[in-house]
Amino acid sequence: MPTPEPAIEVRNLTKRYGSHTAVQDVSFRVEAGETLVLLGPSGCGKTTLLRMLNRLVEPDSGVVLINGQHVRSQPPELLRRGIGYVIQQVGLLPHYTVAENVAVVPQLLGYAPAIIAARTAELLNRLHLPPERFAGQCPSQLSGGQQQRVGLARALAADPPVVLLDEPFGALDPITRASIRREFRELPELRRTTVVLVTHDVTEAFELADQILLLDAGRVQQLGPPRELLLRPANDFVRRFFAAEQLALQLRALRLTDVLTELPAADEKQFVSTIESTSSPLPPTASVQEALEQLSNTSTSAAGEPTVWVQLSESTARPLTYATLMAAFGRAVRRLATEA
Ligand SMILES: Nc1ncnc2c1ncn2[C@@H]1O[C@H](COP(=O)(O)OP(=O)(O)OP(=O)(O)O)[C@@H](O)[C@H]1O
C-alpha cells in the first residue's frame, strides 16, 4: 500500500546569514494531524526553520512541500492564508476588536458573515473567552494570557490544515502557560490539524509532541517520538539536553503498560473486581506520573499502604503501591533503554 502523503515534507533545508549557517541540511516529514515540536537552545535555528515553512524566510537550498505542493509554487500571501501562524508577541491588530481579529483570515477567504460569527463564538467559548464579554473588547483591554488565547483562536479560525506556532505560550507565567497548553491540547480541531511548534521548554515539548526535532547549531541532533529521545539518545548533546529533567520526563513518558510487564507475578487473588476497588482504576495508558499523583492523594488502605488500581480488563484491576510501582518503573526504564 502506498504510504499517505505527509502534510509537511522538508528536504535538505539550508539557510545562511552571511557566513553564519542558521539551518543546515534539515529534513523531516510531519504526517497529517501530527504535532512536531522544534526544540533546542537559543539561537539553534528553530524560528528560522519554522519561518521557512510559510515563506517568511526563503531558504538558500532545499524544498518545502505542504500537502504535496511546493510552497514556492504559490505567492507567499496566498500560502499564508492557508497556514495558521501564532507568535509569542501575539501580533493582534490593536484597533480591531477580539471578534474582528479572529475573523481576519475567514474574511480574506470570503466566508459568509454568519459562518464567521458562529465560528468566532465557538472558538472564543472553547478558549474560555466568553464572547458576550470579550468579543467587543480591544486587545489592550486583555491580559497577556487572554491575548494569547485570541491569537490561537485567530490562527484556528479558518480551520487551516497546518498551524505553525512560535513560542506561543512563551510570555506567560508558568501556571497560565500550563493551563493554556492544556486547553490547546484538548481542542478538537487539533486532531485534524498538523502542527509545528517551536519551544525551548522541554516539558512543553513532551506534553505536546508526537515527534520532537532537537536542533543544535542549525543541525538535527535527533528526530523521533519524545520517549525515544529520552530513552535512546542519539548522541551526547541529546543526553545532556534532557539530563536535568531526566527523571521527571521519564515519569511522564512511561505508561503503566510499560511497567505492568515488570511487576512480579501476582496471585490472581490479589486482583479485584473493578467494582470492588475503592478508587476509580487508572487505565493502562495512564502515565507513571499520573499513578504517582493518584497515590499521593490516596489515603492509607486497610493493608496499611496507599494503593492505586490499574485496570487490566473490563472486570479486573491490579493494586499498585509506591514500592511495587517504582521498582517496576526502574526495570522498565532499563529494559526500554536497551531494546533495539
Ligand atoms: N535576519 C537575520 N539576520 C542575521 N542573522 C539571523 C537572522 N535571523 C536569525 N539569525 C541568526 O540565525 C541563528 C538562528 O536564529 P533563530 O532565531 O532561528 O534561533 P532560535 O533557535 O529560534 O532562537 P531563540 O530560541 O533564541 O528564539 C541565530 O544565530 C541568529 O542570530
Model pLDDT for residues 170-182, shown as the tens digit of each residue: 767 778 778 878 8
CA atoms within 13 A on the CB side of 289: 11
What ranges in 5-68 are assigned the alpha helix state H? 46-53
Cα distances (Å, whole numbers) of residue 196 to 34, 76, 163, 212, 288: 9, 18, 6, 10, 27
Q: What is the pLDDT of residues 264-311, one digit of tens each?
A: 776 555 665 555 555 678 999 999 999 999 988 876 655 678 888 888
Q: By CB neighbour count within 10 A (0-12 exposed, 13-18 middle, 19+ buried), where does 194 fall? A: buried
- Mutation pick for ligand 1 pocket among 23, 39, 47, 200 (CB with most ligand atoms within 8 Å): 47
Q: Which protein residue has the closest C-alpha to ligand 1 atom 16?
A: 45
CA distance 42 to 166: 13
Residue 38 CA, closest ligand 1 atom number: 21
Dist. CA 55 → ligand 1 center (Å): 16
- Distance from Cα 31 to the centre of ligand 1, integer Å: 27
The protein residue with its alpha carbon nearest to ligand 1, atom 2, reads 17
Q: Between 177 and 23, where is the model more confident?
A: 23
23, 44, 49, 89: residue to mutate for ligand 1 pocket, most atoms within 8 A of CB: 44
- Which residues, including other chains, have CB under 8 Å from residue 43's CB and lie 6 or more apart? none
Give the residues surrounding ligand 1 with Cβ less than 6 Å away: 17, 20, 22, 40, 42-48, 200
Nearest CA residue ID for atom 8, ligand 1: 48
Q: What is the number of the ligand 1 atom nearest to the C-alpha of 40?
A: 21
The 272-273 sheet, strands edge to edge: 272-273, 316-320, 308-311
Other CB atoms within 10 Å distance of the CB of residue 161: 16
In DSSP terms, 83 is beta-bridged to 162
Least confident of 63-67, 158-162, 234-238, 247-251: 158-162
Domains of the chain: 8-253 (3.40.50.300), 256-338 (no CATH)
Residue 56 Cα to ligand 1 middle (Å): 13
With a cut of 80, say whether residue 330 has pLDDT above it.
yes
Model ipTM value: 0.97
User: Residue 22 C-alpha to ligand 1 middle, in angstroms?
Assistant: 6
Confidence band for 189, pLDDT divided at 50, 70 and 90:
confident
**H-helix segments, 44-129:** 46-53, 76-81, 98-102, 104-108, 113-126
Among protein residues, the one with the nearest Cα to ligand 1's atom 20 is 43
Over residues 221-267, the pLDDT tens digits come to 999 999 999 999 999 999 999 998 999 999 999 999 999 989 877 65
Among 115-129, 250-264, 305-319, where is mean pLDDT lowest? 305-319
